[in-house]
Amino acid sequence: MTRKPGTINDQDSPHTTSDSDVIVVGAGPTGLLLAGDLAVAGLRVTLLERRAPGISNLTRAMAVHARSLEQLDARGLADELVATGHPLARLRLFAAADMKPSRLPSRFPFVLITPQYEVEALLERRAQKAGVTFRYGARVTGLDQDADGVDVHVQEEDGAATTYRAAYLVGTDGVHSTVRQALGLPFPGRTVVDSVVLADVRLDERPTVPLVANATDDAFALVSNFGDGWYRVIGWDQRRRVPEDTPVEADEIREYMRLALGSDYGLHDVRWTSRFHSDERQVPRYRVGRAFLAGDAAHVHSPAGGQGMNTGLQDAANLSWKLAAVLRGDAADSLLDSYHAERHPVGKMVLRSSGAVIRLAQLRSRPQRVLRATLARLLNSVPPLADRAMMMISGVGIAYPAGRGSHPLAGKRAPDLRLAGGTRLHEALRGGAFVLVTPEDEKVPGDGKDPRLVRAAWAGDRRTALLVRPDGYVAWATDATDPDVRAESLRGALVRWTGAGRAAARTAARP
């Protein structure tokens, strides 16, 4: 038996609990979505969370982007979340750049402003309902893995040491991830801005746009409207660097707003405040044997662009169906390597883009600030540039690499296609299975009757055949007109991607 050591196994764990298929460490948005998906897929899932039940994380994230809403829609959850928030169709950055989520080709052409705890509450309810075993007050202290599974060492609320075992483990335990440390992985990067203040406040005067952000000299401020009378303010002054435990006073926030935005909008009633620093870091490997990292445990970046939670949700959506497929025996373990291959580059891109915004906000000299203003105006005057930036920030423009010779749609996000019978693709994806979209008269091996596959037909007259992965990306497509070529290609795709028809293919191949 090969053992991969957990480097910080500080517990002598005498008691081992019953096995799970997957242990998820950390009940933030990433862990909650992942655990819920796996339980919906019929797997035994244990979620270990060091916090006591009912105590939510502080409201860090407030922006939910279109692609996250699409993922939630593909689980039947989006409308409930949208009802909790305030949609922003337009954002203004650096006094000049107008970003227009309203132009996104999505059912959700906006940025939803809603507190992170609403996202967590929704995902927690779903995970509970799907049968996830929640263990609150369970602090993971280390792990060991062998060829068959992972032992996770836990200190329970009463101080008892316990070991949990599962076939796979996912560390979604945030920026200070114990799982990452136990795997011996570095978290290279650096602090990009320190002494950032955050506050939820009321204003006498309403800013003209729902989200406004600007930087001047050393100061930066962002004001975003929650839509319920409260506003989120984030700001800093690079000349003022104080220890992180220094209390945030209302006057300090007012000053940053006046410096950067020209007004404090009559700030009063400060609900809560926080002072933090912002890092840019990414783990070099998202998988070590049977253990995976996702969300802030794998990558952390500045809050600029509001992408941390959104990227974690996409990590979860990418990994959950792969783990389910492998654990059900529908796919080989090597499918799990594609999680790193697909998500690590996305994490890197988000680090770069949010880093670019924060660096632009930090420009100090006059020529640099002139350059920033010019860039902002350029985004307005060349709409394709602004639209492309919005596509990437929202996640709608993100695609995964497809193999050489693949159809041009392979790896791309499948939009919410209109299907026959008045349904939509995101509704068809709600079973967590692959969706095969073909013309209504197309013959499919086994007539498409397979629990791993949902059969759907185009609403209009289209001849493309499309296999959509459970996370809403195109696995395979063909426009072939020769019926034999088409059928053969489809058969190969179904076996390769869904495992459907594999037994039949094996039988046919026997001498």
Ligand X SMILES: Cc1cc2nc3c(=O)[nH]c(=O)nc-3n(C[C@H](O)[C@H](O)[C@H](O)COP(=O)(O)OP(=O)(O)OC[C@H]3O[C@@H](n4cnc5c(N)ncnc54)[C@H](O)[C@@H]3O)c2cc1C
One of 85, 101, 142, 174 touching ligand X (CB under 6 A):
174
| 173: contact with ligand X by CB under 6 A | yes
Minimum Å gap between C-beta 383 and ligand X is 25
Minimum Å gap between C-beta 326 and ligand X is 22
The residue range among 169-177, 244-252, 414-422, 437-445 that interacts with ligand X, by the rule CB under 6 A, is: 169-177
Closer Cβ to ligand X, 228 or 333, answer by number? 228
Q: Which residues, in sequence order, are CB contacts of 75 under 8 Å at separation 6+? A: 36, 37, 40, 126, 430
One of 22, 36, 46, 60 touching ligand X (CB under 6 A):
60
| 142: contact with ligand X by CB under 6 A | no
Minimum Å gap between C-beta 454 and ligand X is 29
Residue pair 42/21 in contact by the 8 Å Cβ criterion: no
Minimum Å gap between C-beta 50 and ligand X is 4
- 131 CA to centre of own chain: 22
Minimum Å gap between C-beta 322 and ligand X is 18
Closer Cβ to ligand X, 11 or 498, answer by number? 11
Closer Cβ to ligand X, 31 or 355, answer by number? 31
Compute the distance between CA of residue 75 and CA of residue 126 in angstroms, rounded to an integer: 10
The residue range among 305-313, 377-385, 396-404, 489-497 that interacts with ligand X, by the rule CB under 6 A, is: 305-313
Minimum Å gap between C-beta 148 and ligand X is 23
Q: At what angle do helices 502-509 and 483-498 cross, to 10 degrees?
A: 110
Minimum Å gap between C-beta 65 and ligand X is 7
| 145: contact with ligand X by CB under 6 A | no
Q: Which residues, in sequence order, are CB contacts of 178 under 8 Å at separation 6+? A: 8, 25, 139, 140, 141, 142, 171
Element housing 194 (H / E):
strand 189-203
Minimum Å gap between C-beta 409 and ligand X is 27
Closer Cβ to ligand X, 287 or 407, answer by number? 287
Compute the distance between CA of residue 128 and CA of residue 126 in angstroms, rounded to an integer: 5
The residue range among 167-175, 256-264, 400-408, 420-428 that interacts with ligand X, by the rule CB under 6 A, is: 167-175
Closer Cβ to ligand X, 44 or 50, answer by number? 50
The residues in 411-450 that bind ligand X, with binding defined as CB under 6 A, are: none
Compute the distance between CA of residue 350 and CA of residue 372 in angstroms, rounded to an integer: 20
Element housing 116 (H / E):
helix 116-130
Minimum Å gap between C-beta 151 and ligand X is 15
Strand, helix or coil for residue 257: helix
Size of the site for ligand X (CB under 6 A): 34
Number of residues written out for the chain = 511
Q: Which residues, in sequence order, are CB contacts of 273 under 8 Å at separation 6+? A: 197, 198, 199, 200, 247, 248, 253
| 73: contact with ligand X by CB under 6 A | no
- Token pair 């902002």 in the structure block, residue: 376
The residue range among 5-13, 308-316, 333-341, 429-437 that interacts with ligand X, by the rule CB under 6 A, is: 308-316
| 306: contact with ligand X by CB under 6 A | yes
| 84: contact with ligand X by CB under 6 A | no
Q: Is 439 exposed, middle or buried (0-12, 13-18, 19+ CB in 10 A)?
A: middle
| 355: contact with ligand X by CB under 6 A | no
User: What are the backbone dihedrals phi and psi of residue 422, each rounded to the nearest 5 degrees, phi first?
Assistant: 75, 15
One of 172, 181, 214, 314 touching ligand X (CB under 6 A):
172
Sign of the torsion angle spanned by Cα atoms 268, 269, 271, 274: positive
| 312: contact with ligand X by CB under 6 A | yes
Q: How many CB atoms lie within 10 A of CB 228?
A: 12
Report which of 30, 27, 34 is spatially closest to residue 137, judged by C-alpha positions: 27
The residues in 15-54 that bind ligand X, with binding defined as CB under 6 A, are: 25-31, 48-51
Report which of 232, 192, 195, 229 is spatially closest to residue 212, judged by C-alpha positions: 232
Site string for ligand X, 184-203 (x = CB under 6 A): --------------x-----
Compute the distance between CA of residue 100 and CA of residue 327 in angstroms, rounded to an integer: 42
Q: For residue 102, give Cα distances in angstroms to 66, 109, 113, 152, 226.
A: 10, 5, 14, 45, 18
| 394: contact with ligand X by CB under 6 A | no
Closer Cβ to ligand X, 62 or 203, answer by number? 62
Binding site for ligand X (CB under 6 A): 25-31, 48-51, 57, 60-63, 116, 139-140, 172-174, 178, 198, 276, 295-296, 303, 306-310, 312
